[in-house]
């Protein structure tokens, strides 16, 4: 099940391929800050991600201040980090640099 919590081993392995992401202090989410040239580029990124989020039915928690987008990914129904969060992080890295 894609919303099943990852084991510590699975999580460690997944994050080794996502070096820009950190585990938040609760251990229940991953976080990354993306920096773009300007608001246009930052919001363009958010728009592309929004469509992926709808398709996956898995939505980021995110904030935007001008050229910066801070993203937190967690799976609420499982209260932690699942394969879906890793999948979304991979998509974000691909589209957000």
Long-range own/partner contacts, residues 2-5 (CB < 8 A, 24 or more apart): 2/82, 2/83, 2/84, 2/87, 3/75, 3/77, 3/78, 3/82, 3/83, 3/84, 4/78, 4/82, 4/83, 5/75, 5/78, 5/79, 5/80, 5/81, 5/82
CB-CB neighbours of 70 under 10 Å: 15
Q: Examine residue 40 and tell whether it contacts its own copies (CB under 8 A).
A: yes
The token pair at 81 is 């980090």
Q: Examine residue 62 and tell whether it contacts its own copies (CB under 8 A).
A: yes
* Region of 4-12, 13-21, 54-62, 80-88 interacting with its own copies (CB under 8 A): 54-62
Residue (13 or 40) nearer to its own copies, CB = 40
User: In the bound complex, what is the minimum distance in angstroms from residue 70's beta carbon to its own copies?
Assistant: 8
Q: Examine residue 63 and tell whether it contacts its own copies (CB under 8 A).
A: yes
Q: Residue 33 pairs with which residues in a beta bridge?
A: 70
Residue (22 or 38) nearer to its own copies, CB = 38
Among 27, 35, 39, 97, binds its own copies (CB under 8 A): 39
Contact residues: its own copies, CB under 8 A: 39-40, 43, 46-47, 50, 53-54, 59, 61-66
């Amino acid at each position: 099940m894609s919303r099943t919590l990852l084991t510590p081993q699975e999580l460690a392995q997944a994050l080794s391929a996502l070096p820009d992401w950190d585990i938040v202090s609760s251990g229940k989410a991953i976080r990354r800050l993306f920096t773009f040239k300007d608001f246009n580029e930052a919001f363009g990124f958010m728009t592309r991600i929004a469509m992926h989020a709808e398709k996956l039915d898995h939505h980021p928690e995110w904030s935007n201040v001008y050229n910066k987008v801070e993203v937190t990914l967690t799976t609420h129904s499982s209260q932690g980090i699942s394969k879906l969060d890793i999948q979304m992080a991979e998509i974000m890295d691909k589209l957000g640099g």
